[in-house]
Chains A and B, each alone.
Chain A
Amino acid sequence: MLIRSPKASELTEADITDEAVYQQRRKFIKQLAGAAGGVSIAAALPNSAHAAGWFGSDDDDVAAPRQTLKFKPQARAENMVITAEKKAISYNNFYEFGTSKDDPVNNAQKFRTSPWQVTIDGEAEITGRFDYEDILKKVSLQERIYRLRCVEAWSMVIPWVGFPLGELLKQFKPTSKARYVAFETLVDPEQMPGQRNAWQGGGIDYPYVEGLRIDEAMHPLTLMAVGMYGKTLPPQNGAPMRLVVPWKYGFKSIKSIVRISFTSYQPPTTWNILAPHEYGFYANVNPKVSHPRWSQASERLLTSGGLFDQQRVPTQLFNGYAGEVAALYNNMDLSKDY
């Protein structure tokens, strides 16, 4: 574990510019620029947001700016190194918005997450379509700081805000036939360039689908996240709601969920369909089972810092959550059910 003692030069919470002040100042600068230009360049451009963009990255382009959330915070160990927010929200796998890591942050900013509805169906007493707001009313938000271990052998430490998935699922009264839970991501080619064009979307057959065994879904560690770093999720991270299963590889954590189905059978999952020899249904983090193209025995922890500030840490079985979840897999051969 990396132990950092803050230098006197390091900023504290008290030094952070108030967001309202920051926004106001930007608005002022932009107005000034507009006035100075007379018939400004901004007006001549088809999309005036471009001109505004010259003043740096611009939050005004975001259809739904991230809102501050109310939640029960998790106590933080003093030496806990949380990944810089900038990294966590600009380095994403979300092929619906493009396959390269910076495609999602560039292509998802106008993604509409309101209104948003989630269909609940399958082996449950209560099914139907529910408004996202109504789902949120029935749960209480809490913070969970998890290490997100990507199958590509890197990890980040992210403060999620959400609620235990089981709390939600129980409300729909799954029947005894419900042995698995299947999830689906939105299909909207108009908003998601990767779904319009197989070249941009990595040749995946959309919608992106994922699934958990019901005991995995009901496990108290399994989180339905609606926020991160104290605010609502940015679209590139799976707004408005996404799964976080901390002992599994990141691709199990399906984003922008529109459907939750209780099934009696093991549901198909996207990466397993695409490359079954590389990605199993379970996808439990396991240092002993290597990916065909790289070892999973260690991982690079992306926190902040450049090339000379890197850490490679040993990967732990179940991503360090073995104490909580190992019992779920007691009678399984994890090298076969990878």
Chain B
Amino acid sequence: MRILSTQPRLLALKSFTHLACLLTAVGAFYLGITDQLGGDPVKAIIHFYGKASLNLLLLTLCVTPLSRWRREPLWLRLRRLLGLYAFFFASLHILSFLWFDLQLAFALFISEVIQRPYITLGMAAYLVLLALTITSTKSMQRRLGKRWQQLHNWVYLGLPAIVVHYYWSVKAYIGEPLIYFAIVFILLWLRRDKFKRMWRQRLSSSMK
């Protein structure tokens, strides 16, 4: 199977990820500005970027179980890039809402974030992604030490929050959010041992 050695294969995987993500983002934007996204290009682009972000985040959480299953440690080195693109699309999602939907009405933006629980929750999840993005570098990882992992475990709260944000935002049709709930459940269930460990550590540290 392994025709190429590790480095070129990693380079290929990363190039593919960059290309796919950037082309997707730019392509959707192009269709949007040329009015090729249906009746309401604004809603279309907001939803598209939001879902792209969610899908990428799910993919990020698939990396560890998949690489263990296939015994393919190389995939782990793709995880950070996928996470960063999840943040990138989440930023585009919010920016499109502020710019194209609210027409840069900042006061309205802030009041909507405060008043609408589903937006508040989405924003909270975005702040988690922001924190993970800022601390994604090797030097930050070194500097934070043990706390780095603690911080990055917040993704296990951020991800369900994003799905609830999606679920709350839909009017009647909950089929798709339910599918996402199921996927999130499976991804978290695969990590049940890790959560048990975390829980025990907490208990023991609180007893000391």
Binding site for B on A (CB under 8 A): 87-88, 90-91, 95, 99-102, 152, 154, 199, 202-204, 274-275, 290, 292-295, 297-298, 300, 302, 304-312
Complex contact A306–B33 (CB within 8 A): yes
Could you say which residues of chain A place their CB within 8 Å of the CB of B35? 304-306, 309
State whether A307 and B33 are in contact (beta carbons under 8 Å apart), knowing that A203-B174, A312-B105 are contacts in the complex: yes
Known: A199-B175, A306-B33, A306-B34. A87 touches B39 (CB 8 A): yes
Complex Cα–Cα for A199 and B40 (A): 23
Known A199-B175, A293-B168: A306·B41 in contact at CB below 8 Å: yes
Q: Inside 8 A of A311's CB, which chain B residues have their CB? A: 103
Asked, given contacts A95-B172, A312-B102, whether A90 binds B33 with beta carbons under 8 Å apart, the answer is no
Partner of B172, one of A274, A294, A298, A309: A274
The listed residue (B39, B42, B112) touching A90 by CB distance below 8 A is B39
Q: From B32, which residue of chain A is reached at the shortest CB distance?
A: A307
In the assembled complex, B5 has its CB within 8 A of some CB on chain A = no
Using known A-B contacts A202-B172, A306-B32, determine if residue A312 contacts B38 with beta carbons closer than 8 Å: no
B100 and A310 contacting across the interface, CB-CB below 8 Å: yes
Task: Report the count of interface residues on B (CB-CB < 8 A).
Answer: 33
Q: Closest residue of chain A to B169, judged by CB?
A: A293
Closest 6 CB pairs of A and B: A91-B39, A99-B173, A202-B172, A306-B35, A307-B32, A306-B33
- Is the CB of B118 closer than 8 A to any CB of chain A? yes
Contact of A307 among B39, B45, B173 (CB under 8 A): B45
Min CB–CB distance A309 → chain B (angstroms): 8
B32 and A302 within 8 A (CB): no
Interface centre among B29, B40, B108, B118 (most CB of A within 10 A): B40
Could you jot down 21 A-B contacts, CB within 8 Å? Answer: A87-B40, A88-B39, A101-B40, A101-B43, A154-B43, A202-B171, A202-B173, A204-B172, A275-B172, A290-B115, A293-B169, A300-B40, A306-B32, A306-B35, A306-B36, A306-B37, A307-B29, A307-B41, A310-B42, A310-B103, A312-B102
Question: Separation in Å of the B38 CB from the closest CB of chain A?
Answer: 6
**Is B40 in contact with A91, judged by CB distance below 8 angstroms?**
yes
Q: B93 to nearest A CB, angstroms? A: 14
Contact B103 A312 (CB under 8 A): yes
Interfacial chain B residues near A91, Cβ < 8 Å:
38-40
Bound-state CA distance A152–B172 (Å) is: 13
Tell me whether B100 and A307 are in contact (CB under 8 A): yes
- A203: contacting residue among B101, B108, B116, B173, CB under 8 A: B173
Contact B40 A154 (CB under 8 A): yes
Query: Who on chain B is nearest to A307 by CB?
Result: B32
Distance between Cα atoms of A307 and B33 in the complex (Å): 5
Asked whether any CB of chain A lies closer than 8 Å to the CB of B7, the reply is no
A311 and B168 CA atoms in complex are apart in Å by 26
Q: Which A-chain residue is minimally distant from B119 (CB atoms)? A: A293
CB-defined contacts of B45 to chain A, threshold 8 Å: 307
Contact yes or no, A302 B39, CB < 8 A: yes
Residue-wise interface mask of B (43-76) relative to A, using a CB-CB cutoff of 8 A (1 in contact, 0 not): 1010000000000000000000000000000000
CB of B179 to closest CB in A, whole Å: 10
For the complex, what is the distance from the CA of A232 to the CA of B32, rounded to whole Å?
Answer: 30
Bound: A297/B96 CA distance, A: 20
B6 at the A/B interface (Cβ < 8 Å)?
no
B111 within 8 A of A: yes
With both beta carbons as reference points, the residue of chain B lying nearest to A302 in the complex is identified as: B40
The CA of A203 and the CA of B176, in the complex, are separated in Å by 13
CA distance A310 to B40 in the complex (A): 10
Docked Cα-Cα span, A314 to B172, in Å, equals: 26
Complex Cα spacing A274 to B112, Å: 24
**A302: B residues at CB distance < 8 A:** 39-40
CA distance A275 to B172 in the complex (A): 9
**A295 to B108, Cβ gap below 8 A?**
yes
> Do residues B112 and A294 form an inter-chain contact, with CB atoms below 8 A?
yes
Q: Which B residues touch A199, using CB under 8 A?
A: 173, 175
User: In this complex, which of B32, B33, B39 has the most chain A Cβ atoms within 10 angstroms of its Cβ?
Assistant: B39
Q: Which residues of B contact A300 (CB under 8 A)?
A: 40, 42, 101
